[in-house]
Amino acid sequence: MLALAPAWFVSRMTQDDYDAFCACLPHTTHVVQWGDASVWKIGGKVFAIGGWSNAPEFGVSFKCSLASFAILAELPGMRPAPYLASRGLSWVQHIDPRSLSDDDLKKYVRQSYALVLAGLPKRTQRELGVSASR
């Protein structure tokens, strides 16, 4: 009988998967910079960075609340990224595709997007036709 591998082991988000997911979030802008990194912004503010140069695995860095940071930074396959910190939000890096399922990673990237959206000036929110309360 074949033993099934745990979902976290089977799931491997690629850069194409990451880009497709971020592109489906409203009003996002894609920028390629920092080597081969795929940077996603809303209202000119970065909410997630996928990949980096010379890395053997695809990883994602994303903004998170202080509460999420306290939990995520301690998980296997995750690490804090204090050099990216800004305006009261912390950054964490998902560095091992076996540590979070794709669904969990998408959840945190979506939360990162929502945090950035909520932090945009009301004028920018109006210009984008979005509201942080949605």
- pTM of this structure: 0.81
The predicted structure's pLDDT at residue 117? 92
pLDDT confidence of residue 22: 96
Distances (CA, A) of 103 to 8, 54, 124: 10, 26, 29
Tens of pLDDT, residues 46-96: 999 998 666 667 889 999 988 999 999 889 989 898 777 666 678 998 888
Residue 129 has pLDDT above 60, yes or no: yes
Cα separation, 35 vs 54, in Å, equals: 9
What is the rounded distance in angstroms from the CA atom of residue 78 to the CA atom of residue 96? 7
Q: Which two tokens stand for residue 36?
A: 């081969």
For 21-51, the pLDDT digits (tens) are 999 999 999 987 767 789 999 988 999 999 8
pLDDT recorded at residue 41: 94
- Average pLDDT, stretch 101-107? 91
| Mean pLDDT, residues 87-106 | 84
